[in-house]
Amino acid sequence: MADTINLMRGYVLADAGSPEVAGAVAEAMEGGGGPIEAVFRFVKGRVAFVRDDEIATSWNNPDIVEVLIRPVDMLALGGSAQGDCDDFVRLAAAM
């Protein structure tokens, strides 16, 4: 589990300074409100909640336990991004 958490942390730190995340922050702030509210609203409106086991099944690999999607990759998916709680948190933390 520690390896997975370290990988998640690494994704957040690596992507936080990216132009894609900076653009997402700017877009989120256009909606008004404080930064926390803006990021929450952006992530909630951009990512559909789907459990990892459902994502793994759609990839024809039911043996996958945890799916980790980098924040920049979530942003690249646009309105079709899917993930579970930790995916939401990684994107919000990177922002």
DSSP for residue 55: H
Contact at 8 Å (CB) between 46 and 62? no
| pLDDT (tens digit per residue) in 51-63 | 988 877 766 666 6
Entry pTM: 0.87
Q: Which of the two residues, 41 and 52, has the higher pLDDT score? A: 41
Residue position matching structure tokens 């909640």: 49
Q: What is the pLDDT of residue 82?
A: 93
- Encode pLDDT of 25-38 as tens digits: 999 999 888 999 99
Q: How confident is the model at residue 46 (pLDDT cuts 50, 70, 90)?
A: very high
Three-state secondary-structure class, residue 48: strand
State the average pLDDT for the chain. 91
First-to-last CA distance in the chain? 24
Q: Taking each helix axis from N to C terminus, what angle separates 19-29 and 35-46, rounded to the nearest 10 degrees? A: 110
